[in-house]
């Protein structure tokens, strides 16, 4: 079983990623490979929902997300932390986390 958490990136300092002993931290904010290409125009909940849905419906972004999910499953990781500046608010990382959970559940 893989546990996936979305955390504020400052919880890990300036680290962009690490993998050790079944645990991984991956920075998924901008300008990383997994960052949401859709920027918020304001800080409203409606705008946050809009950019998350844009990410969810973007074929290229989802291909990267699902590729990361497959990598996590292939590595047999027990804990994955996804870091972004948005956390703990709703974030595109929630979509990535769902992709990881789905992929890992397919092999458990």
Mean pLDDT for all residues in the chain: 92
The reported pLDDT for the residue numbered 105 is: 86
> For residue 11, what pLDDT band results from cuts at 50, 70 and 90?
confident
My answer on whether omega of the bond before 45 falls inside 30° of 0, hence cis, is no
pLDDT tens readout for residues 58-100: 999 999 999 999 999 999 999 999 999 999 999 999 999 999 9
**Percent of the chain whose predicted confidence (pLDDT) is above 90:** 80
Residue 3 neighbours by CB under 8 Å, 6+ apart: 78, 79, 80
Half-sphere exposure of 55 (CA within 13 A, CB side): 29
In angstroms, rounded to a whole number, what is the distance separating the alpha carbons of residues 67 and 25? 16
DSSP β-bridge partners for residue 79: 3, 23
């Amino acid at each position: 079983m893989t546990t996936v958490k979305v955390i504020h990136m400052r919880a890990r300092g300036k680290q962009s990623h690490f993998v050790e002993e079944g645990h991984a931290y991956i920075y998924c904010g901008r300008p990383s490979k997994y960052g949401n290409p859709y920027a918020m125009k304001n800080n409203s909940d409606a705008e946050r929902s809009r950019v998350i849905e844009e990410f969810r419906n973007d074929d290229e972004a989802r291909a990267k997300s699902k590729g990361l999910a497959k990598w996590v499953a292939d590595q047999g990781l027990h804990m994955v932390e996804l870091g972004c500046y948005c956390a703990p608010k709703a974030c595109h990382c929630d979509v990535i986390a769902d992709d990881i959970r789905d992929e890992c559940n397919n092999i458990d």
